[in-house]
Amino acid sequence: MDRTFQVDLRGVVDLLSHHLYGSPRVYVRELLQNAADAITARRATDPAAPAAVRIEPPELTGDGTLRVHDTGIGLTEAQVHELLATIGRSSKRDELGFARHEFLGQFGIGLLSCFLVADEIQVRTRHADHPTVLWTGYADGRYRVELADAGAQRPEPGTTVTLTPRRGADQWLTGPTVTELAGLFGSLLPIRVHVGEVETTTGPPPWSAAVGSSTAERRERLIAYAREVLGFTPFDVVPLSVPEAGLTGVAFVLPAPVNPAARAGHRVYLKRMLLTEGAEGLLPDWAFFARCVVDASELRPTASREALYEDSLLESTREALGDQLRGWLVRLADSNPLRLAEFLRVHHLGVKALALHDDEMLRLVERWWPMETNLGQTTLAEFRDRHGLIRYAASIDEFRQLAAVAAAQDLAVVNAGYTYDSEIIERLPAVDRSVLIERLEPSDLTTRFDALDPGTALALRPFVATAQRALDRLGCEVAVRSYAPASLPALYLVSRSAIFHEQLQSTRERADETWAGVLDAIAASGPPERPQLVLNHRNPLVRRITALTDPELVGLAVEALYGQALLLGYHPIRPADAALLNSSFLGLLGRAVPGQE
């Protein structure tokens, strides 16, 4: 024999309050929603019917209850039995069970949220000329349906919901709280809502065309709205519209940088009822510089009505909104580059992240974002115009090591060590094949240095041999060249393959046998170029050192130059380097300080 499920209402209410709804305050939203839907339903057949909701908090009812009156369609006795006695039953779905477009509700559980704050819910309702019906439900699952006495008939169609607060929940029903919640959730509703004498509806959304006669006025109004509701003065206001989702609204561009990883919360209304002040997933991740306030009629809520339901419509809406923000950026670049520069100063990380997969944004960054170079700040486009190609150092350390020396050789270099910069540069040729790029290889610099004349080179051979002996154990090659600036005595240059080999070596020392074997195989694939200490023959001190005859002093001096070049070039100091720095310093000090032990 088939049986029917029994429902433990207390269990369901517990589930709702602890696992579905974030706070008991949602009961106000659910009541407003039912009232608004009932009015919509009545007006579908009687467009001239009144459309008003009045909430009377306990301060006005005087008996400790809260009452919500609406001029909606009301329910017949049969409907009361059918709709109010079955959890999950709703009049707002079509024959196929789909949510009906014109209504806010769809799940058939909203009224239950009143049990979060009330022990008893009473619904007094009248549909058209039918008699007034009284339904009383209790938190323990009992309910009663009765017809009202002749003297207690409602004079007009509509519904009054009366809540008797549960112990400890009175604060959710007080006048000030209900006024605040009715304003929060329902301020944009297209019907008038009063709590006592106070109207909590404010008319159409502030971005709608009906508000403010001119665009400038509307903008001012929106800026004031952002200040009041979101707490900041926006950098700009971008109108949004996605007809497919029945969405209208605005994006407020934030005036200060935000952490791109921080989830952006948007204020979302569905059919003019506040869904949430912190919706996620409305904009693409890269658009973290904007906060939206939107109203949509086609997007769906999750059952808790506190978030947007992730479906293909939300996905295409997100894309459309992303396009609109991108369009705003491109327009700004064309119409007001100064303003764009200001925007980029604040939000360049977001724009750069976007440029990694968006050609238009890539061009925008190339044209407008000033990058650090060893010849001052310039945009990539200017740099390319001036130098024919984009030469860049891919890390900040590499740039620091080489910037001054490269500049002295008339070699312009972009510092592409900041987040996304080298990826952006490397992506440019894919979008515009005329763009030439070249990653600066530190060891390439030596090819720009002047060789010494053969006579000098020959005379320096003994010195180079002694110096080389001193640095052999550090795996470093010694060379003498002549280059600018003369003030720089020595430069330590490592090719990228040598850096890789060094990292491989230090991992090898810490690795277990299997892993070490793998690393050895990689290392065997090609002998690394050795790092070079390039002494500068134009430097007066270096000249004096090359003239020394005492091999011990030559060793100490070269070791000291090696250490100094490492430090100046921001190279990592290995234990062997640290020991050498120490011994060469003490050795030189020992030589410098006169006297016997």
Ligand X SMILES: Nc1ncnc2c1ncn2[C@@H]1O[C@H](COP(=O)(O)OP(=O)(O)OP(=O)(O)O)[C@@H](O)[C@H]1O
**Which is closer to ligand X, CB of 68 or CB of 253?**
68
**CA torsion, ordered 34, 39, 40, 42, to nearest 10 deg:** 120
Q: Which stretch binds ligand X (CB under 6 A): 84-92, 285-293, 378-386, 417-425?
A: 84-92
Show the site string, 352-391: x = touches ligand X by CB under 6 A, - = not.
Answer: ----------------------------------------
Say whether residue 109 binds ligand X (CB under 6 A).
Answer: yes
Partners of residue 250 on adjacent β-strands: 239, 293
CB-based contacts of 249, cutoff 8 Å, min separation 6: 205, 207, 239, 240, 241, 292, 293, 294, 295, 296
Find the shortest distance in angstroms from Cβ 141 to ligand X: 15
With residue 124 as reference, give the H or E element that holds it.
Answer: strand 118-126
Q: Which stretch binds ligand X (CB under 6 A): 109-117, 385-393, 440-448, 538-546?
A: 109-117
Number of H helices, E strands in the chain: 19, 21
Total site size for ligand X, rule CB under 6 A: 23
| Least gap, CB of 361 to ligand X (angstroms) | 40
Stretch that binds ligand X, among 5-13, 100-108, 182-190, 274-282 (CB under 6 A): 100-108
Nearer to ligand X, 121 or 332 (CB): 121
**Position 274 contacts ligand X (CB under 6 A):** no
Segment (H or E) for 533: strand 532-536
Residue 91, exposed/middle/buried by CB under 10 A (0-12, 13-18, 19+)? middle
Applying CB under 6 A, the span of 70-78, 280-288, 314-322, 525-533 interacting with ligand X comes to 70-78
Cβ distance 383 to 412 under 8 Å? yes
32-44 CB burial, b ≥16 within 10 A, e <16: bbbbbbbbbbbbe
DSSP 3-state of 121: strand
Name which of 70 and 77 has its Cβ closer to ligand X: 70
Does 105 contact ligand X by CB under 6 A?
yes
Residue among 27 and 449 whose Cβ is closer to ligand X: 27
Q: Does 106 bind ligand X (CB under 6 A)?
A: yes
Binding residue for ligand X (CB under 6 A) from 40, 90, 164, 201? 90
CB 477, CB 531: distance < 8 Å: yes
Q: Give the sheet arrangement for strand 390-393, strand by strand.
A: 414-415, 390-393, 437-439
Closest approach of ligand X to the CB of residue 417, in Å: 53
**Closer CB to ligand X, residue 74 or residue 489?**
74
Q: Which amino acid is at 15?
A: L
Residue 365 identity (one-letter amino acid): V
Find the part of the chain contacting ligand X (CB under 6 A) among 30-38, 495-503, 539-547, 558-566: 30-38
Which of these ranges, 27-35, 167-175, 503-511, 554-562, lies near ligand X under the rule CB under 6 A? 27-35
Q: CB of residue 173 vs ligand X: minimum separation in angstroms?
A: 17
Extract the tokens encoding 569.
Answer: 């070039």
> Which of 17, 30, 191, 349 is the binder for ligand X (CB under 6 A)?
30
CA distances, 320 to each of 196, 244, 247, 323, 326 (Å): 42, 10, 11, 5, 10
Residues of span 133-192 touching ligand X by CB under 6 A:
159
The torsion of the CA quartet 223, 225, 227, 232, rounded to 10 degrees, works out to -70
- 596 contacts: CB under 8 Å, gap ≥ 6: none
Closer residue to ligand X (CB): 91 or 241:
91
Nearer to ligand X, 21 or 383 (CB): 21
**91 binds ligand X per the rule CB under 6 A:** yes
Complex with ligand X: residue 24 or 74, whichever CB lies closer: 74
Q: Is 532 helix (H, G, I), strand (E, B) or coil?
A: strand
Cα–Cα dist 76/79, whole Å = 5
Q: Decide if residue 28 touches ligand X (CB under 6 A).
A: no
Q: Is 38 in the site for ligand X (CB under 6 A)?
A: yes
Q: From the list 9, 13, 16, 83, which residue makes contact with ligand X (rule: CB under 6 A)?
A: 83
> How distant is the alpha carbon of residue 280 from its chain centre?
10
Min separation Cβ 40 and ligand X, Å: 10
Decide if residue 35 touches ligand X (CB under 6 A).
yes
Query: Which of 246/475 has CB closer to ligand X?
Result: 246
Residue number with CB closer to ligand X (126 or 347): 126
Helix axes 337-355, 359-368, angle to 10 degrees: 130
Taking a C-beta distance cutoff of 8 angstroms, is the pair 416, 393 a contact? yes
Does 17 participate in binding ligand X (rule CB under 6 A)?
no
**Under rule CB under 6 A, residue 33 binds ligand X:** yes
Task: Enter the tokens of residue 135.
Answer: 């339904």
Selected range binding ligand X among 87-95, 417-425, 478-486, 554-562, rule: CB under 6 A = 87-95
Supply φ then ψ for residue 362, to 5 degrees. Answer: -60, -45
Residue 264 DSSP code: P
Among 24, 57, 58, 72, binds ligand X (CB under 6 A): 72
Q: Judged by CB under 6 A, which of 9, 84, 270, 287 binds ligand X? A: 84
Which stretch in 102-110, 541-549, 572-580, 583-591 sits in contact with ligand X by CB under 6 A?
A: 102-110
Closest CA to 133 of 95, 160, 100: 160
Which one of residues 16, 51, 75, 560 is an interface residue with ligand X (CB under 6 A)?
75
Q: DSSP code of 527?
A: P
- The window from 2-10, 85-93, 180-188, 420-428 that contacts ligand X (CB under 6 A) reads 85-93
Report the 10 Å Cβ neighbour count for 316: 13
Tokens representing 558 are: 């070269």
Q: Taking CB under 6 A as the rule, does residue 108 contact ligand X? A: yes
Q: Note the residues at the interface with ligand X (CB under 6 A).
A: 30, 33-35, 38, 70, 72-75, 83-84, 90-92, 105-111, 159
